[in-house]
Amino acid sequence: MSFEISYSREEKNILLRNFDLEVDDRLSKLKAQLEFELNDYRDRQETLLRSIPTEVRSMKMREFGMKYGGDIRAAVLGVRADIARSSVSEKLAGKRKADEKIEELRLAKNARLHSPKKRPLGFTPQKSRHVSNPFGARNSPTSRQTPQKARLPFMPSPSKQTVKSGSTHRVPSSSSFNPSMPAHAPAYPSGAFAAAPPRTLKRMKSGIIVRNASETQKTGSTTLTPKPASSSTLPAPSSSQSFVTPARKGHQRTLSRARSVISLSTTSGHVLEFDPIANSPRDIDALEGITDSAKRDVKLEMSRLVLATAQKWTVGS
Shared-domain flag, residues 210 and 282: yes
Is residue 301 in some structural domain?
A: yes
Residue 169 DSSP label: P
The sign of the dihedral angle between the CA atoms of 266, 272, 277, 280 is: negative
Q: What pLDDT shows up at residue 19? A: 95
| Count of positions (residues) in the chain | 317
List all residues 6 or more positions away from 260 whose beta carbon is below 8 Å from its beta carbon: 227, 228, 229, 230, 275, 276, 277
Render pLDDT for 1-36 as a digit per residue (tens, 0 to 9). Answer: 566 778 888 999 999 999 999 999 999 999 999 999
Q: What pLDDT shows up at residue 20? A: 95
Q: Which residue has the higher pLDDT, 146 or 221?
A: 146
Q: Which of 34, 51, 68 is the last residue of a domain?
A: 51
Q: What pLDDT shows up at residue 215? A: 42
Q: Is pLDDT of 241 > 70?
A: no
Band of the pLDDT at 195, cuts 50, 70, 90? very low
Is residue 46 in some structural domain?
A: yes
Q: What's the mean pLDDT in 35-42?
A: 96
Shared-domain flag, residues 209 and 277: yes
Shared-domain flag, residues 209 and 288: yes
Is residue 209 in some structural domain?
A: yes
Is residue 176 in some structural domain?
A: no
Is residue 231 in some structural domain?
A: no
Q: What pLDDT shows up at residue 270? A: 82
Shared-domain flag, residues 18 and 82: no
Q: To 10 degrees, the CA torsion angle through 80, 86, 90, 95?
A: 90
Is residue 229 in some structural domain?
A: no
Q: Is pLDDT of 203 > 70?
A: no
Q: What pLDDT shows up at residue 222? A: 42
Q: What's the mean pLDDT in 128-149?
A: 55
Shared-domain flag, residues 37 and 8: yes
- 243 — phi, psi (to 5°)? -100, 125
Q: What pLDDT shows up at residue 244? A: 42
Shared-domain flag, residues 71 and 87: yes
Is residue 195 in some structural domain?
A: no
Q: Which of 287, 203, 212 is nearest to 237 (CA)?
A: 203
Is residue 295 in some structural domain?
A: yes
- Host H or E run for residue 164: none
Q: Which residue has the higher pLDDT, 294 or 192?
A: 294
* pLDDT mean across residues, the chain: 71
Q: How far is CA 122 from the centre of its chain?
A: 62
Q: Which residue has the higher pLDDT, 208 or 216?
A: 208
User: Residue 68 is which amino acid?
Assistant: Y
Q: Is pLDDT of 99 > 70?
A: yes
Residue 199 DSSP label: G
Rg of the chain over Cα atoms, rounded to whole angstroms, equals: 65
Low-confidence winner among 50-54, 97-101, 258-262 (lowest mean pLDDT): 258-262
Q: Which domain holds residue 88?
A: 59-107
Q: Which of 73, 89, 107 is the last residue of a domain?
A: 107
Note the pTM of the prediction, 2 decimals. Answer: 0.28
Shared-domain flag, residues 4 and 101: no
Q: Is pLDDT of 299 > 80?
A: yes
Q: Is pLDDT of 166 > 60?
A: no
For the chain, the domain total comes to 3
Shared-domain flag, residues 43 and 64: no
